[in-house]
Amino acid sequence: MDNIDFSAPATREPAAQEPEGQEPATQEPSQLRSSRPYTITVALIAVNVLVFLAMVLSGVSFINPSPEQVRSWGGDFGPATVGAHQWWRLLTSIFLHFGIIHIGFNMYVLFQIGPFIETVFGRARYLIIYFAAGLFGSLVSVWIHPNAVGAGASGAIFGLYGAVFGFLLVQRRTLDPVATKSIAKSAGIFILYNVVYGSMSGTTDLSAHIGGLFAGFLAGMLLVRRRAATS
């Protein structure tokens, strides 16, 4: 997620590109995408893109929307979210983005990790993880940065990576150790890179990222589907 403070304009930074992971057995996300349609991933990307297009058509900047513009569309903002009890902003903010680069990177990463999550957890559980992580990330963000406008899907996307670790923790005895190591390494590199990148950026809302990661990890452990042990 990106945060823009009214006193010092900043931007929830898009998640950086995700290193390719693997399905628990052998397939990579790119292979998974070709085998079946991934309805939830496509739907989430479509909703984000449609909201962004609606914002642009209404006059919001295509490249660099102002905090006021994003707030008016439902951005997460302490005085409104908490002060005015507009709690719906915790949800709406995860479908808003600060410009084409922001949404472009986030949707690319969602396109990479989404099919894996949809395959491993199923559609319903995928949605639960995505929204739980997004909402918790927004809540942490507004608590840490109450006077900044927050928006972006990256908290929810970090939650999907948290769910990967929750899945690996619960299923570690049933998976091929080589596949487990590969998946964990891929997800770990993604998270580490984004934390380092976010720490160097004055616009990244790491609180939303970490909040989403934590919520996704818990949800992943609770919602993982049991598998038979690998021989």
Q: Which two tokens stand for residue 210?
A: 């970490």
Q: Rounded distance, CA 19 to CA 91, Å?
A: 27
Coil, strand or helix at 193: helix
Integer-rounded Cα Rg, in Å, for the chain is 17
Of 201, 217, 215, nearest to 12 (Cα)? 201
- 153 residue type, one letter: A
Q: Is 199 a catalytic residue?
A: no
Q: Rounded distance, CA 177 to CA 30, Å?
A: 21
In the set 138, 141, 154, 207, the catalytic residue is 154
Query: Could you tell me what percentage of the chain is helix, strand and coil, using 3-state DSSP and rounding each to the nearest 5?
Result: 65, 5, 30
Of 206, 73, 201, nearest to 137 (Cα)? 206
Q: Rounded distance, CA 119 to CA 206, Å?
A: 28
In the set 97, 102, 145, 209, the catalytic residue is 209
Q: Is 209 a catalytic residue?
A: yes
- 178 residue type, one letter: V
- Active-site residue set: 154, 209
